[in-house]
Amino acid sequence: MSKSTPKICSESFLQGAFDVLAIDEQMQHLIRSPHREISFEIPITLGDGSLRVFSGYRIQHDHSRGPFKGGLRYHPDVNREHFEGLAQLMTWKTALVDIPFGGAKGGINCDPRQLSDRELELLTKKLTQRLECVIGPDVDILAPDVGTNPKTMAWIYDAYSLVHGLEPAVVTAKPIQLGGSQGRTAATGRGVALVTSWAADMEGIELEGATVAIQGFGNVGRFAAKFLSDYGATIVAVSDSKGGLYNEDGLNTASLFEAAEKTDRRTSLYDLKVDGQKLDNEALLSLDVDILIPAAMENAITDENAKDVNARMIVEAANVPITCKATNILADSGIPVIPDILANAGGVIVSYLEWVQNRQRYRWDEERVNHELEATLRRAWDAVLERKQKESNTYREAAYLIAVERVKEAIEMRGF
């Protein structure tokens, strides 16, 4: 993480839950502290013969409710502190949706767009060699995140199996041919769309014809756009790291989705032949729309641009896309925010379902997977809504109260 990148913001949300739940200082310290922190260096010889040394990390935050679970990120702006915040966030997410996992996060400070597939495979298999003694189906289960994908998981599966035998459950979101689950690729975006539909109904927004802007058009943003369009919403703007496209009458989401699916990770939205005028990411965030969905990186909405947000509702498809100060500004503006630990939990739910299938050595059809995803996410939504209405707080505050309470109870029941 570069020095200019804001710290992952969840501490104030966590402290708020501690205060309401009257958790004592020692328990607060225990809940915050990572169980294990791992850092290492990975040297590889690039295709041109030069030597590069990359830094890698894995933060295993909490396993009181089950094995550590969390993504593997390849991005130049990451470090140990960055992953500490994201690992903790995964703990609250798995607790909120009530699946038997804890939280972890890790990755390598590299830019995968600057590496060939062969170089990425070598880097990934060396990472697995560094971690194989502290990961596994009952210890720590990895999944894709920014800069990684099912192919990355296949490489980890292969490298891990050379030492431990065939263990498909060591990673999730694998290719279908290697034990991946039906519906996993679309799961996070599907979950975002489901939660958005329930929240829109609660906030008095008619989803049929509602205008939606989505910042980030990777896997999550693409599928969220697809499913929301299927629900009748009008996707007026989407963007990637290089900029976005806008059409006040609605983008052709089907064409955009199809074109994006056929391109590689180095292709920009600007290169896709879809009708729409260009706009930058800052302009997208300030569009006058019904629903704004930040689905890119952390800290997209800050205290500097929060006052320019004109959406009626925000749904956090990315992890921590809103800084703490911006959260307060949006609250003062009366803009409801559906928190990341609920909105984007579809991915980890189906990762859990994939893990279950791998342990059973049995594959479910996509209809069953999608049914289980929706049922699990709906229970979490109902729990948040009930807590919010009971205690007159925000969606985020209600979500954190539920998650922290469940982790605390698990720690106390297991003992010290």
Binding-site annotation: residue ranges for substrate: 69, 93, 351
Looking at the DSSP assignment, which residues form a beta bridge with residue 214?
Answer: 238, 293
- Please say whether the beta carbons of 289 and 270 come within 8 A: no
User: What is the enclosing helix (H) or strand (E) of 161?
Assistant: helix 150-164
Residue 3 among the catalytic residues: no
Helix (H, G, I), strand (E, B) or coil at 278: strand
Helix (H, G, I), strand (E, B) or coil at 293: strand
Please name the residue that has the structure tokens 């909490």.
62
Distance CA 99, CA 348 (A): 9
Q: What does the CA dihedral 333, 327, 319, 42 come to, rounded to 10 degrees? A: 140
Catalytic residue among 3, 7, 105, 126: 105
- CA distances in angstroms from 193 to 35, 64, 84, 284, 293, listed in the order given: 34, 30, 28, 19, 10
User: What is the enclosing helix (H) or strand (E) of 295?
Assistant: none
Distance CA 182, CA 279 (A): 35
Nearest CA-CA partner of 102 in 114, 112, 113, 92: 92
φ/ψ (deg, to 5) at 344: -105, 20
202, burial (CB in 10 Å: exposed 0-12, middle 13-18, buried 19+): middle
Rg (CA), the chain: 20
The full DSSP string for 227-255 is HHHHTT-EEEEEEETTEEEE-TT---HHH
Structure tokens at 260: 């994006």
Which residues define the annotated binding site for NAD(+)?
A: 188, 219
φ/ψ (deg, to 5) at 142: -90, 160
User: What is the enclosing helix (H) or strand (E) of 367?
Assistant: helix 366-391
φ/ψ (deg, to 5) at 290: -75, -40
Which residues define the annotated binding site?
A: 69, 93, 188, 219, 351
Q: Which residues are part of the catalytic machinery? A: 105
